[in-house]
Chain A
Amino acid sequence: MKTMKYDKELLKDGKRIDGRGIDDLRDMEAKAGILKRADGSGYFRMGKTEAIAAVFGPRELHPQHKQKPQRGILQCRYNLTPFSVDDRKRPGPSRRGKEIGKVSEGALSSSIFLEEFPTATIDLYMEVISADAGTRCVALNAGSIALADAGVPMKGLISACAAGKIDDTPVLDLKGEEDMGGQVDLPIAMNADTGEITLLQMDGMTDIDEMDEMLELAMKGCEKVAEKQKEALMETF
C-alpha cells in the first residue's frame, strides 16, 4: 500500500510537476517491426518509460505436457532490464516480473484466436529498457504491436494505460514521482474498439466513486494509445 509521502506538491493549480493537466498522457512514440530476427516486434514509449517486444511463433511447444490439444497457448515474459531503473536491478526472473508476465498472458490471450493453433505456442518477450512508472502498460502496448506485426490473428489490438490519484485528485498516466508519492495506481488494458477491459489492477486505497472516475480517465487514455499503435502499424506496412 502507498504510504510514502513526497515532499513536493504533486498538483498545483491543476498542473502536475511536468506541466501536464490531470487528463493528459505523456508524449508517446510507437514503432513496429524493429527486430529483424523475430517473427514480429514492437516498441512503445510513454515519457521516459520505454519497452520493446518480440513475438516468436506460432511454434511447437516444449515441454510437451504444457501442450493443449484444443488450442494454443500464449507465453509472456516481462522483464525489467538491469539498466532500466536508477539503482541497477539484479538481472534474472523476479517475483514481480513473473507475476506481470502472467497477467499479461491473460490480458492479451483473450484477444487472440488461440483455437487456431492447437498444441502450439506463441511466445512474447517484453523487455522494459527504461522505467519511469507504467511499465506494464507500456510493455503491453509494445507487445500488442508485436503480435499484430507477427500476423497473429486477433480480435483487436490491446491498449493499456494507467490512471491514479495524487493529492486526492484522480489523474491520468502517472509518471515516476507521482507513482511514488501518489495514493492510487490503477493500470488497465482494454480493446479500445469494443471497450472490453482485459486487465485491471490497483494499488492503494480509494472509494468506488473515485475508482469510476479513474477508470473513465484510463479508458479515454487507452483510446489515445490505440490511435498511436495503429499509426505505427500502418506506417510499417
Chain B
Amino acid sequence: MSEKLLEDKKKVLPGDVVAEGDYLAGRGTYKEKGKIKSRVVGIARTGKSRIEVIPLRGGYIPQEGDKIIGRISGIGPSHWWVELNSPYDGYLSISEGSNEFIDLDSTDLSDVHNIGDLIYTEVIKVTKGKDVKLSMQDRICKKLAGGRIARISPSRVPRLIGKGGSMVEMIKNGTDSRITIGQNGIVWISGGDEDLAYKAVETVDKNGHEKGLTEKVKKILEKRG
C-alpha cells in the first residue's frame, strides 16, 4: 500500500508527508511510522522508488566529491586550514595541496598557499565527526588570483549552473568574465564586466525560486553598453 501523497515538484514544509509505504527516503526527508516526511522547506521530487526534497534554503555542509571555493585561514607544520563557508574548516595536507614536490627544509608553506588566498578545491573525505579533508590533485583545482567573489545561498547553486551549465554559460558569454562556482555558495568572478556578472549572479540568488529567471538574467545582461 505504497502511495505518493503529493505531486512531483510540490512545495513542502518540514513535517509534511510526501509519501507512504515502500519508498526510499532520500535527501531532505526522513521516515517515521511508514510515512516519508520532509525535513526542510523545499521542492518534493517523487521518483519511481526514491522520494527527495530539494532544499530551498540552508547553509553549506561539506560532502565528499563537492568542488568548492575556500580561503586559506591557517598554516600548520605540514598542512593548511581552509575556511569553507560552513561550520567546519577543511584540512589540506602538503601532499594534497600541490602537484609538485615541496621540500619543507627549503620552502615555507606560505609560499605555496598563503593565508587569505582563494582556492578552488575538492572535498575528498568527510568523517562522521565532520573532519573535512581537501585535495588540489584534480586538474580542475586551482588557485584563484585576483577577481572578486559573490556569496549566494548554497541551495541556489544548481540554479546558477543551469541545465548542462546553460545559465553560467549565458552569464560568461554576456560579460566575458571568467566565473568559477563553488558548491558551498562562493562564486568567483574575474575579468570582463565584473560588475554586471556580479549583478547577474545576485539576481539568480534573489529570484532563484521563481519562474522566468532566465529571461530576467538575459535582460540584465543586455544592459552591457
A54-62, A81-89, A174-182 - the one binding chain B: A54-62
Most chain B C-beta atoms within 10 Å of own C-beta, residue among A116, A117, A151, A233: A151
B-side interface residues, number (CB < 8 Å): 25
B129 and A151 within 8 A (CB): no
Question: What are 23 A-B pairs at a CB distance below 8 A?
Answer: A39-B57, A39-B59, A57-B87, A58-B59, A59-B59, A59-B87, A61-B87, A116-B61, A117-B61, A117-B130, A118-B128, A119-B88, A119-B129, A119-B130, A120-B87, A148-B41, A151-B55, A151-B57, A151-B59, A152-B58, A233-B13, A234-B11, A237-B209
B85 to chain A, nearest CB (A): 10
B13 and A234 within 8 A (CB): yes
B32 within 8 A of A: yes
B129 and A230 within 8 A (CB): no
B14 and A69 within 8 A (CB): no
Total CB contacts across the A-B interface at under 8 A = 87
Chain B residues with Cβ below 8 Å from A193 are 15-16
Residue ranges of A at the interface with B (Cβ–Cβ < 8 Å): 39-40, 57-61, 69, 72, 111, 113, 116-121, 148-157, 191, 193-194, 230, 233-234, 237
In angstroms, Cα B15 to Cα A208, docked, is 31
A237 and B11 within 8 A (CB): yes
Partner of A154, one of B40, B155, B209: B40
Closest to A59 in B: B87
Most chain A C-beta atoms within 10 Å of own C-beta, residue among B13, B32, B130: B13
A156 and B129 within 8 A (CB): no
B15 and A151 within 8 A (CB): no
Partner of A155, one of B30, B55, B59: B30
With A119-B129, A154-B39, A156-B37 as given contacts, are A58 and B87 in contact (CB-CB < 8 Å)? yes
B87 and A155 within 8 A (CB): no
Chain A residues with Cβ below 8 Å from B196 are none
